[in-house]
Each structure stands twice: as structure tokens, then as C-alpha cells.
Amino acid sequence: MPTALVTGITGQDGAYLAQLLLDRGYKVVGLLRRSASADVIGARLRWLGILDHVELVDGNLTDLSSLIRVIETHRPDEVYNLAAQSFVAASWQQPLLTGAVTGIGAVNILEALRIARPEARFYQASSSEMFGLIQERVQTERTPFYPRSPYGVAKLYAHWMTVNYRESFGLHASSGILFNHESPLRGIEFVTRKITDGVARIKLGLARELPLGNLDAQRDWGHARDYVRAMWLMLQEKKPDDYVVATGRTVRIREFCDLAFGHAGLHAEEHVRVSQSLIRPAEVDVLQGDASKARAALGWSPETSLEDMVAEMVEADLVRHRARLAA
């Protein structure tokens, strides 16, 4: 039975990845940062019905000694670094925390592996936010980076350090440059869940309007369930490498709104209003990925359409709010 260590296991991607790994016969160990909200921290794993099937251990990306201890104790065959301060908007308010956790935290794991388990295979969750002010209309692994937020800058540092450890120390270290990916497990602070949650509230009479920021920002959205499969495929390859993971389809936030409201039989223009307080200091206007390399080398392709994903998210939020009303 192979062992996988997953940081960020309680997040959207971590939960779906843990489910995938369990289905493939792995022992799954999740790194857990203790906090005052520990009583609700396993909600996503519980939603998928796998909370009792993973082993959660104490550790912190900012504490190298804790990472070394976890790696020495569990001797993982594969390590997936999904943990981060991952909310782009918050990174302007907490740039040092974002740099410490999202950037240096990744290097702490790489260093712990170099010291304690150099034969393990490592996955770094890189981000399309590294492209930022895009230098090419469609982004590939060769597109120059131009991050536009402290989050994007921190991710870029972690990305290049992953490449450096691969080339300097021979670690099997790969990065997935994942474009936006969503699901019913997405955090409520992200615009896609904010939209589907807002649709559910409005449909059930709990709200009348939905405030949003820039409706013309364009993103390449896929389903997290598809994207964690790409992560796993990268670590099954003989040689480590970096891969863009994307659908190749880009839509505006206002179009995402139209799909979500339309699924509930509502009209977005009757409920959505633009709030200037939600406009970012520096916007990433458009992202569109070319996953040709992942398709050719890994045999990966997305299986869930944008329309099906949006419908799944709206339905899940309707179920959540109906349960609360019934309680």
C-alpha cells in the first residue's frame, strides 16, 4: 500500500485528491494546521464520506521541524503540497503571511524531503495566477509569467523553487499550473461559490441581491475533481515536469452568473449588482490555458463541462440552505 502525504487536505483540492487516492488503494496522511476552528475543519472530507479513512497529523508549512518529523514518521511515497493562503483578494491585506505560507512553506517541504525522504515524489500546486498580466493570449508552460497579486508572486517563488530542487538535487518534483477549478466544496469566499450560494439564497427567499466585483474578468474554469486526477497522473510519470491543467474555454464572470441563475430559473441582471469595494487593486483580466502537453504526456482531459459543474454547485448550495431552513 503506497502512502501519500497531502498538505491542505481539508481544502477543496485536498478532499477530492484524498478521495481519489483512497480509491486507488493509498494510505492517505493529511497535514493539519491546528486552529480554533478545528471542530469544523474536516467538513469537506465529511461531505465526501472519507473523514474516517484518512489520518490527520499535526504540522505546519512554516515549521520545518514539524515537516521533517511527519516525513520521517510516515515515510510517504508521494507528497502533494496543496496548502496555501489561497484567497487572492486577502493576499493584498496579508502579503507577508501569504509569502511565508504559500511561498516559503513550499520550500520547507522540499527541504524536508531533501533531508528525510529524497526518493519520494513531490507535487507542487502552482497557479494560473502566476501568468497575471498575460504575455500571450493563450498560456502554456512556456508563457512568461507576470503575477499581479502577492498570492501570484508567492506561487511563482514556490514554482521556481520546485524547478530548482528538481534540477539541483534530483528530486522527482513536478508542478501543475492549474487554472481555476471549482466544485461544491469551493470556499464561500471565492467568486464562483459566492455566486452559486447567492443564487440558492435568492431562490429560497433568503436574499434579494448579490454584490460582486469585476463582472468582465475572464477565467478558464474546470472541475476540481478532474484537476486532482491530473495531479496524480504527474507523479506516476517516470520523469518529473511541469504541466498546464486547463479546459481551454474562457468565460466572463457575468456569463458564469447567467448559467448559475438560469439553472435556478432566475435572471442574473435582476439580482447582481457591482460593488466597488470588491474590485481588486490590480486585476487579472483574462486567463485561458492550453493543456496540450498534459493531454499528450499524461492522457488527461477534463470530463465535466462548465454547465454541469455550475448546475452541481447550485444544487449543492440549495441542499445546504434547505437543510438549514428545516433545522
CA distance 52 to 304: 28
CA distance 128 to 222: 13
* pLDDT attached to residue 159: 98
* pLDDT attached to residue 230: 98
CB atoms within 10 A of CB 285: 12
* pLDDT attached to residue 271: 97
Please compute, for residue 10, the number of CA atoms within 13 A of its CA located in the half-sphere on the CB side: 16
125 pLDDT tier (thresholds 50, 70, 90): very high
Q: What is the CATH number of domain 3-181+221-245?
A: 3.40.50.720
* pLDDT attached to residue 279: 82
List the grid coordinates of 274. Answer: 457591482
First to last CA, the chain: 42
CA distance 70 to 254: 44
Percent of the chain having pLDDT more than 70? 98
Tens-digit pLDDT profile for residues 67-117 = 999 999 999 999 999 998 877 888 889 999 999 999 999 999 999 999 999
Domain limits of the chain?
Answer: 3-181+221-245, 186-219+249-283+304-326
Residues annotated as part of the active site: 127, 129, 151
Cell numbers 463582472: residue:
215
35 pLDDT tier (thresholds 50, 70, 90): low
172 pLDDT tier (thresholds 50, 70, 90): very high
Would you call 116 exposed, middle or buried from its count of C-beta atoms within 10 A (0-12, 13-18, 19+)? middle
Percent of the chain having pLDDT more than 90? 91
CA distance 149 to 152: 5
List the grid coordinates of 320. Answer: 445546504
Tell me which residue of 246, 147, 255, 245 sits closest to 192, measured CA to CA: 255
Tens-digit pLDDT profile for residues 278-304 = 887 877 889 999 999 999 999 999 999
Tell me which residue of 300, 271, 121, 298 sits closest to 196, measured CA to CA: 271
Mean per-residue pLDDT for 178-188?
A: 96
CA distance 52 to 54: 6
* pLDDT attached to residue 36: 46
Cβ-proximal residues to 281 (8 Å cutoff; 6+ apart), any chain: 92
List the grid coordinates of 64. Answer: 520545518
The CATH architecture annotation of domain 186-219+249-283+304-326 reads Alpha-Beta Complex (3.90)
* pLDDT attached to residue 38: 55
* 27-36, 59-68, 129-138, 218-227: range with lowest mean pLDDT: 27-36
